Chain A
Amino acid sequence: MSEDQGYSGNALDCLKKNNVKVGDTIKITADLTYSGILMPRYESSDDKHLVIKLGSGYNAGINIDEIQEIQVVSSSEVKPKQSEERKEDTTLPKILLLSTGGTIASKVDYRTGAVTPALSASDLNEAVPELGKIANIDAEVLFSEYSENLQPDHWTKIAEKLDSLANSDYKGILIAHGTDTMHYTSSFLSFALAGFPIPVALVGSQRSSDRASSDAAINLIAASKFLVESNTRGIFLVMHHNDNDQTVACHLGTRVRKNHTSKRGAFETMGDHPAFIIAEGRIKKNIQDDFFKDAKYNPRMKIDTKVALVKYHPGYDPKLIENLIQTGCKAIIFEGTGLGHVGRTMYDVIKNARENDLFLGMTSQCIDGTVRMTVYESGRDLLDLGITPLENMTPETSLVKAMWALGNSKHADEMKSLMLENIASEF
Chain B
Amino acid sequence: MAEIDFEKIGLKVGLEIHQQLNTDKKLFCKCKPIENDEYTEKFSRSLRTAKSELGKIDPAALFEKAKSKKINYYANSQSSCLVEKDEEPPHDLDHDAKKISLLISSMLKSKIFSEIHVMRKTVIDGSNTSGFQRTMLVSQGGNLKVNEKNIGVQAVCLEEDAAKLLKDEQNERNYSLDRLGVPLVEIAPRTCQHQAL
Interface-facing stretch out of B6-14, B27-35, B48-56, B166-174: B48-56
Q: Which residues of A contact B52 (CB under 8 A)?
A: 110
Chain B residue, CB-CB nearest to A218: B46
How distant is the Cα of A54 from the Cα of B116 in the complex, in angstroms?
Answer: 13
Q: Is A213 an interface residue (CB 8 A)?
A: yes
What's the minimum C-beta distance from A284 to chain B, rounded to whole angstroms?
18
Interface size on A, residues (CB 8 A): 39
Decide: B88 and A212 in contact? CB cutoff 8 A: no
Say whether A231 faces chain B, with CB atoms less than 8 Å apart: no
Contacts of A245 in B (CB 8 A): 44-46
List residues of B (79-101) whose CB comes within 8 Å of A's CBs: 82, 85-89
Contact among A60, A111, A210, A262 for B82, CB-based, below 8 A: A262
In angstroms, Cα B51 to Cα A58, docked, is 16
Contact of A210 among B45, B50, B61, B121 (CB under 8 A): B50
Contact of B46 with A62 in the complex, beta carbons under 8 Å: no
A54 to B137, Cβ gap below 8 A? yes
Interface mask (A342-382 → B, CB under 8 Å = 1, otherwise 0): 00000000000000000000000000000000000000000
Nearest-Cβ distance from residue A29 to partner chain B, whole angstroms: 14
Is A263 at the interface (CB under 8 A from chain B)?
A: yes
Interface size grouping (class) on chain B: 35 or more
Q: How far, in Å, is A196 (CB) from chain B's closest CB?
A: 32
Q: Mark B97-136, 1 if CB is under 8 A from A, else 0.
A: 0000000000000010111110111101000011110011
A212 lies within 8 A of B44 (CB): no
Contact: B55 with A212, CB < 8 Å? no
Partner of B116 from the list A31, A60, A109, A218 (CB cut-off 8 Å) is A60
- Taking A58-B157, A207-B86, A243-B43 as contacts, is the C-beta distance between A49 and B121 under 8 angstroms? no
Bound complex: CA A110 to CA B43 (Å) = 32
Query: CB within 8 A of B49: which of A53, A54, A56, A212?
Result: A212
Taking a contact as CB atoms under 8 Å apart, the answer to whether A213 and B47 are in contact is yes
Output the least CB separation between B8 and chain A (Å): 30
Decide yes or no: A32 and B140 within 8 Å by CB, A212-B47, A212-B132 being known contacts: yes
Is A281 positioned at the interface, with any CB of B under 8 Å from its CB? no
User: Is A246 part of the binding interface, using a Cβ–Cβ cutoff of 8 Å?
Assistant: yes
Q: Chain B residues near A56 (CB, 8 Å)?
A: 137, 155
User: Is A167 engaged at the interface, CB distance under 8 Å to the other chain?
Assistant: no
CB contacts (< 8 Å) of B46 on chain A: these are 218, 245
A32-B111, A110-B54, A262-B87 known; A217-B48 Cβ under 8 A: yes
A424 to B86, CA, bound (A): 35
Considering the chains assembled together, what is the distance between the CA atoms of A39 and B119 in angstroms?
Answer: 12
- Interface positions, chain A 191-205, Cβ under 8 Å from B, are none
In the complex the two chains form, what is the Cα distance from A246 to B72 in whole Å?
Answer: 11
Tell me the complex Cα distance, A53–B113, Å. Answer: 13
Query: How many contacts A-B (CB < 8 Å)?
Result: 102
Q: Tell me which residues across on chain A come within 8 A of B121, comparing CB atoms.
A: 57
Shortest CB distance B76–A (Å): 15
B115 touches A212 (CB 8 A): no
A211–B51 Cα distance when bound, in Å, is 8
- In the assembly, what is the distance between CA of A66 and CA of B113, in Å? 11
B137 touches A60 (CB 8 A): yes
Instruction: Name A's interface SS.
Output: loop
By the criterion CB–CB under 8 Å, are B119 and A57 in contact?
Answer: yes
**Which of A244-269 touch B at CB < 8 Å?**
244-246, 261-264
B152 in the interface (beta carbon within 8 A): no
Chain B nearest CB from A33 CB (Å) reads: 10
Cross-chain contact A58 with B136 (CB below 8 angstroms) = yes
Distance between Cα atoms of A53 and B49 in the complex (Å) = 21
Measured CB to CB, the closest approach of chain B to A125, in angstroms, equals: 14
A37 and B45 contacting across the interface, CB-CB below 8 Å:
no
In the complex, what's the smallest C-beta–C-beta distance from A27 to chain B, in angstroms?
15
Q: Are B136 and A111 in contact (CB under 8 A)?
A: no
- Chain A residues near B48 (CB, 8 Å)? 212, 214, 217
Flag if B117 contacts A51 (CB, 8 Å): yes
Q: Contact between A66 and B114 (Cβ–Cβ < 8 Å)? A: yes
Report how far A78 CA is from B46 CA in the complex, Å: 32
Taking CB atoms, residues of chain B closer than 8 Å to A271 are none
Out of B61, B117, B131, B132, which one reaches A59, CB within 8 Å? B117
A63 interfacial by beta-carbon distance below 8 Å: yes
Q: What 14 new A-B contacts, CB under 8 Å, besides A211-B50, A214-B131, A263-B88?
A: A54-B137, A58-B119, A61-B117, A62-B113, A62-B114, A63-B115, A66-B114, A110-B53, A210-B50, A214-B48, A244-B44, A245-B44, A262-B89, A263-B82
Binding site for A on B (CB under 8 A): 43-55, 61, 82, 85-89, 111, 113-117, 119-122, 124, 129-132, 135-137, 140-141, 155, 157
**Residues of chain A whose beta carbon lies under 8 Å from any beta carbon of chain B:** 31-32, 37, 39, 48-49, 51, 53-54, 56-63, 66, 109-111, 207, 209-214, 217-218, 242-246, 261-264
Q: List 23 A-B contacts (CB under 8 A).
A: A51-B115, A53-B54, A57-B121, A58-B119, A58-B155, A59-B117, A60-B137, A61-B117, A63-B115, A207-B86, A209-B50, A210-B51, A211-B50, A211-B120, A212-B122, A213-B47, A213-B129, A213-B130, A214-B48, A218-B46, A245-B46, A261-B88, A262-B88
